[in-house]
């Protein structure tokens, strides 16, 4: 059904103020790192979190830490799906049918008819097996 692989995602704590996300992403740009995907959200009045997918997560976390941010890496399943109506719903449906809870997910815009879906589940290895 889908091409899936286990990768690392950088999770970064930032302040919840105008421009914080832009500053973080400029750090990655200066380090020469191209993002595969990103999602950000507010955690409270003063804090926010950004999850970033890059090819070289080690270099990314080093650049992020050197800029004064905290950076943790977590495993996520990166799933390449057809860029079409209902494709992400099908992936989530397969995981639900296999009894695998999803902790968070986000998708990127597609190119060449393909899109990327990042998934963190209670069991990423089991999730990848369910999607093959």
Q: What is the pLDDT along the chain (132 residues), one digit of tens a residue?
A: 568 889 999 999 999 999 999 999 999 999 999 998 999 999 988 999 999 999 899 999 999 999 999 999 999 999 998 888 899 999 999 999 999 999 999 988 767 788 899 999 999 889 988 988
Q: What angle do CA 28, 57, 132 make, to 5 degrees?
A: 125
Q: Which two tokens stand for residue 74?
A: 């977590």
Q: What is the pLDDT of residue 1?
A: 54
β-sheet with 102-107: strand ranges across: 35-42, 47-54, 3-15, 70-82, 114-121, 102-107
């Amino acid at each position: 059904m889908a091409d899936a692989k286990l990768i690392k995602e950088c999770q970064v704590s930032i302040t919840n103020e105008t421009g914080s996300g832009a500053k973080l992403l400029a750090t990655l740009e200066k380090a020469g790192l191209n993002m595969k995907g990103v999602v950000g959200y507010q955690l409270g009045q003063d804090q926010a979190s950004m999850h970033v997918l890059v090819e070289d997560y080690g270099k990314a976390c080093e650049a992020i830490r050197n800029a004064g941010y905290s950076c943790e890496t977590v495993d996520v399943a990166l799933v390449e799906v057809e860029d079409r109506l209902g494709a992400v719903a099908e992936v989530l449906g397969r995981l639900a049918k296999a009894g695998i809870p999803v902790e968070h997910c986000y998708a990127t815009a597609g190119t060449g008819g393909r899109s990327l879906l990042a998934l963190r589940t209670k069991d990423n290895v089991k999730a990848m097996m369910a999607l093959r």
